[in-house]
Every structure is written in structure tokens, then in C-alpha cells.
């Protein structure tokens, strides 16, 4: 089982990278986001690897972080999501954006990925609501907990109203939740929605 590759980029294709490890070249299939960040041929690279073994096939999937690899595996626990769809989602959303979309119940964000229809997006945000890959930092966990409260309708009315106001102005639900979360830290838990909106807009303008 291959867990990580450390080598030199030999070639970059539309959906894969070839990594030369001391003369042995490995083909690793990657998301478009990973391929755009990986570097250029001749440069050193480190990839976290997920190995798929089938009767007639052995395929490697490469990721820039263990967290991204964790989401790749977790997404495939949902019916209708295979390796190709999981990579499409990771091509469209970062690991953090996936976590936030699931916490918020934002199936619209998930359905932006090619091949992900409304039904599959709904299953993803529903079935993975209380699941996150290992390796999230405390800060990430706190942010996801806040978004989960918002997604479940358990947030205070002022918070919900402020987020709704920002989304009506054209910001995504994730952007609005992030801005209001930051506003709450400044204004305190008892802040009125008008205060949160003002501080949230200031946060988004930075």
C-alpha cells in the first residue's frame, strides 16, 4: 500500500501527474485544484496517496494534504459518489469549503461540481453532516460547529437574520456565515442583527 510519494514531477496531464521516485514513475490521478497547485515538471513534489486495487486495476489518487485525502474517502461513503465524482467535488471546492457546505446544509454549493445533481448533493450534506475527516484543527472545528448551528436552524435569530441579509446581497452562504462568525467575536453574543450586518460587511470588504 502506498501512502505518500516524494519525488520529482515528470509530467502533468489533464487529470493526472507522473511522479519520478528514484527512476520509478508513478501515475497519480488528482483533482484539477491539486494539479493547478502542484508545480511544474522537474520540481520536487510530495503527494498523499490513496491506493485503489481492483481485480483488473491498480490506481493511485494523489492529494496535497491528508485532509483532502480524507474528504476523498469520506465523500465516497455516500451512495452515488465514486472516485470520479469525489475528485470533481475536490476540483470545485477546497477541503474547507466542503466542510463548510456540509455544515451549512448548502447543497447548492456542492452541486456546482460537474456530475453532482441535486439528489446526490442532498445526500452528501445530509449523510455527512456530523462527519469530518481526522486532522481538522481546533479553529476549523469551531468554525464548522458554528456553521452547523446555522444549517440546523439552531443559531440565534440575530445571527440567522444577518446571514440572510448578506446572502440577499449576493454573498454565498459560506461567505456570509464566515463574516458573521467574525462579527460575533467582535460584537459579542448579544449583538443585534444590524450590528452584525455592519461588521459582517466590513469583514467581507477587507
Domain of 41 in residue numbering reads as: 4-64
| Domain harbouring 185, CATH code | 1.10.8.10
| Residue 14 sits in the same domain as residue 49 | yes
What letters, b where the CB count within 10 A reaches 16 and e where it falls short, cover 13-48?
Answer: eeebbbbbeeeeebebbbbebbbeebeeeeeebebb
| Residue 35 sits in the same domain as residue 84 | no
pLDDT tens figures, 90-107: 999 988 888 888 888 889
pLDDT tens figures, 21-47: 999 999 999 999 999 999 999 999 999
pLDDT tens figures, 183-199: 878 878 788 888 888 88
| Residue 44 sits in the same domain as residue 71 | no
Q: Which of 127, 152, 177 is the last residue of a domain?
A: 152
| Domain harbouring 72, CATH code | 1.10.150.20
| Domain harbouring 19, CATH code | 2.40.50.140
| Residue 139 sits in the same domain as residue 86 | yes
Report how far residue 113's alpha carbon sits from residue 91's, in angstroms, rounded to the nearest whole number: 8
| pTM beyond cutoff 0.75 | no
Q: How many domains does the chain have?
A: 3
6 has pLDDT over 80: yes
Strands 57-63 and 24-29: parallel
| Residue 87 sits in the same domain as residue 144 | yes
Amino acid at each position: 500500500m502506498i501512502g505518500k510519494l516524494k519525488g520529482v514531477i515528470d509530467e502533468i496531464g489533464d487529470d493526472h501527474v507522473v511522479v519520478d521516485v528514484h527512476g520509478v514513475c508513478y501515475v497519480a490521478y488528482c483533482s484539477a485544484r491539486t494539479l493547478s497547485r502542484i508545480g511544474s515538471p522537474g520540481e520536487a513534489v510530495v503527494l498523499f496517496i490513496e491506493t485503489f486495487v481492483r481485480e483488473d486495476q491498480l490506481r493511485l489518487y494523489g492529494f496535497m494534504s491528508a485532509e483532502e485525502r480524507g474528504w476523498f474517502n469520506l465523500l465516497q461513503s455516500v451512495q452515488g459518489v465514486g472516485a470520479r465524482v469525489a475528485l470533481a467535488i475536490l476540483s470545485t471546492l477546497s477541503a474547507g469549503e466542503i466542510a463548510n457546505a456540509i455544515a451549512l446544509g448548502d447543497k447548492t454549493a456542492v452541486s456546482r461540481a460537474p456530475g453532482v445533481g441535486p439528489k446526490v448533493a442532498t445526500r452528501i450534506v445530509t449523510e455527512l453532516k456530523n462527519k469530518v475527516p481526522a486532522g481538522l484543527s481546533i479553529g476549523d472545528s469551531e468554525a464548522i460547529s458554528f456553521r452547523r448551528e446555522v444549517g440546523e436552524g439552531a443559531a440565534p435569530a440575530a445571527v440567522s437574520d444577518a446571514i440572510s441579509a448578506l446572502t440577499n446581497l449576493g454573498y454565498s452562504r459560506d461567505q456570509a456565515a464566515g463574516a458573521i462568525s467574525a462579527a460575533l467575536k467582535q460584537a459579542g453574543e448579544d449583538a443585534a442583527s444590524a450590528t452584525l450586518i455592519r461588521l459582517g460587511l466590513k469583514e467581507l470588504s477587507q
